[in-house]
Structure 1
Amino acid sequence: MNILLVCSAGMSTSLLVTRMLEAAKKQGLELKIEAHPVAEVEAYGQDADAILLGPQVRFQFKNIQSLYPDKVVEVIDMRDYGMMNGEKVLKHVLAALEK
């Protein structure tokens, strides 16, 4: 499974990616999770099963959703993002993918 996180510059989500990968490892899941600037979503979005937007780029939600109507596109909860709660963000995206 491939999860793409996008934010303003791709830097602020790096720690969240690390925490999500740690949570996935604890659950025995092998996932590919990457962070990139929202400006690069078209370069990486095609390969993603889910695209998560950082709260600072939530205004791009409808645009990205229209680019990828068959993919899970979600905005990361602001509190979980601020706390860098990789476990909760991972749980949320996995639930969204099961729908």
Structure 2
Amino acid sequence: MKKIYLFCDNGMSTSMIAKKMQDVGDKHNLDLEVKAYPVRSLEKILEEKNPDCVLLGPQVRHLLEDTKKRVEGYDVPVGVIDSADYGMMDGEKVLKKTIVLMKNHKK
């Protein structure tokens, strides 16, 4: 199972896009778990849940470089959800871009 975890200030608004991404994954029988958390819990989630991908909500995009440093020892790709996709709550587009991010990270 691939674990894709989204982070924002409180994990509230990203939980909506996480659900839409999970719904798309379920519809296509993809073995994945998509959940949202507050960014302050990043280290705890990394240690306890071992995610395959970390995504930041557009509202915390300024934390990208800091987040990359925080996940260095975990070999996990980090990305920022596109603002337009986020605003439209387009779970399918966000999931597709996430899969590309994960594949490119493996190279």
| TM over 0.5, shorter chain | yes
The equivalent residue for 1:34 is 35
Q: Which moved more, 1:41-50 or 1:85-94?
A: 41-50
Q: In the TM superposition, what are the counterparts of 1:27-66 in structure 2 within 5 Å?
A: 27-46=28-47, 47-66=50-69
What TM-score, normalized by structure 1, do the two folds share? 0.95
Tell whether the 8 Å contact from 1:2 to 1:33 is kept in structure 2 after alignment.
yes
Q: Distance in 1 between matches of 2:52 and 2:8?
A: 17
The equivalent residue for 1:3 is 4
Q: Distance in 2 between matches of 1:59 and 1:18?
A: 24
Q: Distance in 1 between matches of 2:55 and 2:46?
A: 10
Q: Which runs of 5+ in 1 are unaligned?
A: none
Structure 1 moving runs of 4+ over 4 Å: none
Q: 1:80 aligns with which of 80, 85, 94?
A: 85
Percent sequence identity over aligned pairs: 40
Count, aligned residues: 99
What TM-score, normalized by structure 2, do the two folds share? 0.88
Tell whether the 8 Å contact from 2:53 to 2:76 is kept in structure 1 after alignment.
yes
Tell me the C-alpha RMSD between the 2 structures. 0.9
Q: Which runs of 5+ in 2 are unaligned?
A: none
Deviation, 1:45, is 2.6
Q: Distance in 2 between matches of 1:71 and 1:87?
A: 21
Tell whether the 8 Å contact from 1:4 to 1:48 is kept in structure 2 after alignment.
yes
